[in-house]
Structure 1
Amino acid sequence: MTEKLGDRLVVTLDLTGVTDKAGLMDAVVRALGLPGWFGRNWDALLDSLTDLSVWPAGARGRGLLLVVTGWEPYADARPEEWRVAREIFTEAGERTAPLTVALALG
């Protein structure tokens, strides 16, 4: 789902039903409309989150709010993978000022 919030484009990263890293990467590809050459690994995820040229067109120049939903079951099932994903979300937000990643609760 994509909306506009203020000046930022809001994109929902729905992790409902995700049970592993491959599922997480597939969900990211769908949510952000990443190109087919996306590497589906942790480095590629960080690169894509910090490379504005691959962001959805509506976010370029305005910013992106990535709202992660349905993440709790994945975090419980794969805590080490989820820890890495959170670190990447955090680093991407710190390196790329127009990016905010928010974890939705409930």
Structure 2
Amino acid sequence: MTFDLTGITSKAALHQLFKEKLGFEEWYGPSWDAFWDSIVAIVEMPPVLTLTNWEEFADCCPRDMEILRQVIQDYAIEMAPKRIVLA
């Protein structure tokens, strides 16, 4: 599964994309803790989730991009062989 992040310039917009495309629960809000809980325990994630055109988000939200990179690393360990990749 591939998500194109073109035009995603805020944390809220990124989390809304994840909520809509991955089928997160209605209560889901723009929080990295809620994201983690959702991807490891609530929704069935695809074997590989590829995020493309993420550079604009990284430029607009450098701290959140740093957190996302850490989540990606932790997810690879916790949920192997499933993974999230930046392409």
TM-score bucket (shorter structure): 0.7 to 0.9
Alpha-carbon shift at residue 31 of structure 1 (Å) = 2.2
- 2:2 matched to which residue of 1? 12
Q: 2:18 aligns with which of 3, 11, 28?
A: 28
Structure 1 residues 87-106: aligned runs within 5 Å: 87-104=70-87
Kindly state the Cα deviation for residue 39 of structure 1 after the two structures are TM-superposed: 3.1
Aligned mates of 1:101, 1:83 — CA distance in 2? 14
More helix by share: 2
Is residue 2:37 matched to residue 1:47? Answer: yes
Give 5+ residue unaligned stretches, structure 1: 1-10
Q: Which runs of 5+ in 2 are unaligned?
A: none
Work out which of the residue numbers 43, 46, 63 in structure 2 matches 1:80.
63
Q: Tell me by how many angstroms 1:49 deviates.
A: 1.6
Q: TM-score, normalised by structure 2?
A: 0.87
Question: Does structure 2 retain, via aligned residues, the 8 Å contact 1:19–1:77?
Answer: yes
Q: Secondary structure in 1 aligned to 2:83?
A: strand
Letter in 1 for 2:44: W
Q: Structure 1 CA distance, aligned partners of 2:53 and 2:21?
A: 13
Please report the TM-score for the alignment, with normalisation by the length of structure 1.
0.73
**Identity value in percent:** 36
- SS of the equivalent of 1:101 reads strand
Amino acid at match of 2:17: A
Between Structure 1 and Structure 2, whose CA radius of gyration is higher? 1
Q: Which has the higher strand share?
A: 1
Aligned residue pair count: 87
